[in-house]
Structure 1
Amino acid sequence: MRRRLINSTLAVVLVVIAVFGVSLVIVETRTITSSAHEQVESEAQGLAGIVDSYIVERRPVDAHALSDQLDPGRFARIEVPGQQPVELGEPIGGAVVRGTARSEHGRTVTVEESRSTVTDEVGRTLVVVGAVALLAVVAAVLLAVRQANRLASPLTDLAETAERLGSGDPRPRHKRYGVPELDRVADVLDSSAERIGRMLTAERRLAADASHQLRTPLTALSMRLEEITVADDLETVREEATIALTQVERLTDVVQRLLTNSRDPRTGSAVTFDVDEVVKQQVEEWRPAYRSAGRPIVRSGKHGIRAVGTPGAVAQVLATLVENALMHGGGTVALRTRVTGNQAVIEVTDEGPGVPADLGNRIFERAISGRNSTGIGLAVARDLAEADGGRLELLQGRPPVFALFLSRTAPEPQDHPETVR
């Protein structure tokens, strides 16, 4: 592209020089030749006038008397009737420029100048025109190179940006070039890079969230199926299978929830639900895992609470907290329900070392973990809680107390404490 721009600019300049340069040379040549003719004719007329004055004054018309009246380098001939012509200067050989004048007393004066003088003047003009043309060509080449670089370099950068986008590097460059059309292309590429970056981030986040969030229900389902394999009583098998089917349904709900949040995290499917059912479900699902670990899981607090939210999402939040308590906590894990103002609160606590003081509420940030885990679970749990208008907080670091706050619908009955092991 650079070569094409330079060649096209140079071609235009050469055409302009050819058209106007040749015309200028022709005009200047004619002007110089015409000026030379006018000069020798003017000198011939002036010399004729001098000859007339000499005749009136009866002075002799000879070469000695008139030698000072002729410009150097020229030759003059004065023809006097009945006498030998009077010659001034040296005769000029070759082509000449001639001017003739006739005096009032019948004398003919001819003045000649070598045409080489005119040729030299035309040559000097050609040199000047050629020098100007050469400067114009050099200036045109420099300008063409500068303009080509100004246009080609941005196009190269834009091509590299497009190639980076195609190779999966969506970082916008925010580079502009001072050319409106190219800046418009750069704006479009940067906007596309930002959109692609957001899409890739959402896809990676969905993959990480799915791998983490599906692990919990799959682990619980696996344990439930293990319970079925070792059960001898048909009634127990049926009960465990029913619970397993419920877990499969919740697993399907988790997948749907993740996909929905990946498209629009503000989309919710909140309904009024019974908090006791969700808490009971989690205790039953995780009891086998806690039994295997030799640890108890209990539920207590206020009963009959109804809250607004998505049951599957609430269950997933509680599952994340219960799993973290199993993996990183210690002692008894308790799920406690209570009411504060117009909100229902579900607290999950254990007797383990808790959350380090330097983390605090940063524990909900992605990639932040106090136990060398992925740091995804609590971040996803908070997103799930906020999607339905709730919130997930760390009320106490040691021992840890996590609380899920949900909006409730109406005043609830009095406390009926109950502990299930």
Structure 2
Amino acid sequence: MRRRLIQSTLAVVLVVIAVFGVSLVLVETRTITESARERVESEAVRLASIVDSRLLVDEKVTAGVLRDQVTEDRYAVVHLPGRAPIEIGDKPKGDVISASAPGEEGETVTVQEPHSSVTREVGRTLLIIGLVALLAVIAAVLLAVRQANRLASPLTDLAETAERLGSGDPRPRHRRYGVPELDRVADVLDSSAERIGRMLTAERRLAADASHQLRTPLTALSMRLEEITLTDDPETVKEEATIALAQVERLTDVVQRLLTNSRDPQTGSAVTFDLDEVIQQQLAEWRPAYRSVGRAIVTSGKRHLRAVGTPGAVAQVLAALIENSLMHGGGTVALRTRVTGNQAVIEVTDEGPGVPTDLGARIFERAISGHNSTGIGLAVARDLAEADGGRLEMLQASPAVFGLFLSRTPPQKSRDDDRRTVR
């Protein structure tokens, strides 16, 4: 593309120089020739007037007297009646420019100039025109190179940006080139890069969240399946299988919830449910793990509370808090329920050292952890809580107390739907 731009610009300039240059050369050659002829005629008239003035006062007219009146390199002949011609200067050879002027006393003055003087002046003019044309060509080449770089470099850059997008690097470059059409393409590529970046981030986040949220439930499920394989008691097998099926249903709900949040974090499926059922289910799942490390998990507070949310999501939030206390806390873990205003609150606390001061303000950020864990659990738990219209907060740093706040009022959308149904 650069070569084509340079060649096209240079071709246009050369055509312009050829058209106007030839015309200018013809005009200048004619002008120089006419000017030389006029000078010779003017000198002949002037020399004739000098001869007339001398003849009127009876002064001698000789070559010596008139020599200083004739321009160098010119030849003059004065024809006087009844006298021999008076020659001034050297007679030129070859082509000449000649002019004659009659005098009042009957004399005739002829002045000649060699045509070579005109040729030299035309040559100088051609040289000047040629230098100007050469400068014009050089300027055109420089301008063409600059314009070619200005247009070709952005295209190369945009091609590299598109190639980076195709190779999985969605970083926008935010480069503009001062050309509206190219800047428009750059805007579109940057917008596409940002959208691709958000999509990739969401996919990576979904993979990390799913991995974290499913790790512990799958471990518990595998342990129950192992217990089923090791027992011959039909009642025990039935009981463990029932619990395992319930865990599978919760895992399915967790996966569905994670997929929903990855597409639209504001999309929820909140319903009114009994908090006691979710809490008791979590106690039953986590007691074996706590018992194995010599610790206990208990519950207290207000009973038979009903809250609005997604039971599976609430169970996952509580599981994240309980697992966090198991890994980073100490002593007995307590789940306490209470009511504040129009909200039901589940507090999870333990007897451990609490949250370090440097992590307190960032405890819900992703990749923030004090004990080399993934740093995802609390961040995912907060997202799940907010998706149901609730919130998850750290109420106290030492000992650590986390509170899950859930609304006790059914969603407005549900009420509106009920009204429409009644109508």
TM-score with structure 2 length normalisation?
0.90
* 1:65-105 alpha-carbon deviations (Å, 9 max, x no partner): 43333222211122344443222221111111111223344
Counterpart for residue 90 of structure 2: 90
Counterpart for residue 287 of structure 2: 287
- 5 Å-filtered alignment, 1:2-401, equals 2-401=2-401
Instruction: Work out the CA distance in 2 between the residues paired with 1:338 and 1:226.
Output: 38
Classify the secondary structure of the residue corresponding to 1:358.
Answer: helix
* 1:269-309 alpha-carbon deviations (Å, 9 max, x no partner): 11111111111111122233334444333222211111111
Instruction: Work out the CA distance in 2 between the residues paired with 1:262 and 1:70.
Output: 104
Shift of residue 226, structure 1, vs aligned partner: 2.6
Shift of residue 257, structure 1, vs aligned partner: 0.6
On the 8 A contact 1:216/1:320 being kept in 2, the answer is no
Shift of residue 14, structure 1, vs aligned partner: 1.9
Instruction: Work out the CA distance in 1 between the residues paired with 2:55 and 2:329.
Output: 140
Shift of residue 256, structure 1, vs aligned partner: 0.7
Gaps of 5+ in 2: 411-423
Shift of residue 232, structure 1, vs aligned partner: 3.3
Shift of residue 40, structure 1, vs aligned partner: 0.9
Shift of residue 221, structure 1, vs aligned partner: 1.5
* 1:339-394 alpha-carbon deviations (Å, 9 max, x no partner): 12211011222333332233224221111111210000110001100111111122
Classify the secondary structure of the residue corresponding to 1:110.
Answer: strand
Counterpart for residue 417 of structure 1: none
Give 2:271's aligned amino acid: V
Classify the secondary structure of the residue corresponding to 2:24.
Answer: helix
Q: Which moved more, 1:119-128 or 1:357-366?
A: 357-366
Shift of residue 313, structure 1, vs aligned partner: 0.6
Shift of residue 59, structure 1, vs aligned partner: 4.0
Provide closer, same or farther for how the CA distance between residues 220 and 64 of structure 1 changes in structure 2, counting only shifts above 3 A.
same
Instruction: Work out the CA distance in 2 between the residues paired with 1:399 and 1:134.
Output: 87
Classify the secondary structure of the residue corresponding to 2:169.
Answer: coil
Instruction: Work out the CA distance in 2 between the residues paired with 1:100 and 1:340.
Output: 127
Gaps of 5+ in 1: 411-421
Shift of residue 28, structure 1, vs aligned partner: 0.6
Instruction: Work out the CA distance in 2 between the residues paired with 1:16 and 1:8.
Output: 12
Classify the secondary structure of the residue corresponding to 1:69.
Answer: coil
Shift of residue 404, structure 1, vs aligned partner: 0.7
Shift of residue 159, structure 1, vs aligned partner: 2.7
Instruction: Work out the CA distance in 2 between the residues paired with 1:70 and 1:397.
Output: 117
Instruction: Work out the CA distance in 2 between the residues paired with 1:261 and 1:73.
Output: 103
Classify the secondary structure of the residue corresponding to 1:392.
Answer: strand
Give 1:129's aligned amino acid: I
On the 8 A contact 1:98/1:113 being kept in 2, the answer is yes
Instruction: Work out the CA distance in 2 between the residues paired with 1:194 and 1:41.
Output: 84
Give 1:219's aligned amino acid: T
Which stretches of structure 1, 4 residues or more, deviate above 6 A after TM superposition?
none
Shift of residue 113, structure 1, vs aligned partner: 0.2
Shift of residue 266, structure 1, vs aligned partner: 1.3
Q: Which moved more, 1:264-273 or 1:157-166?
A: 157-166
Give the CA RMSD over aligned residues: 2.1
On the 8 A contact 1:361/1:393 being kept in 2, the answer is no
Shift of residue 129, structure 1, vs aligned partner: 1.0
Classify the secondary structure of the residue corresponding to 2:357.
Answer: coil
Q: Percent identity?
A: 79
Shift of residue 327, structure 1, vs aligned partner: 2.8
Shift of residue 217, structure 1, vs aligned partner: 2.0
Instruction: Work out the CA distance in 1 between the residues paired with 2:222 and 2:293.
Output: 15
Q: Which moved more, 1:51-60 or 1:119-128?
A: 51-60
Counterpart for residue 421 of structure 2: none
Instruction: Work out the CA distance in 2 between the residues paired with 1:240 and 1:405.
Output: 32
Instruction: Work out the CA distance in 1 between the residues paired with 2:409 and 2:146.
Output: 73
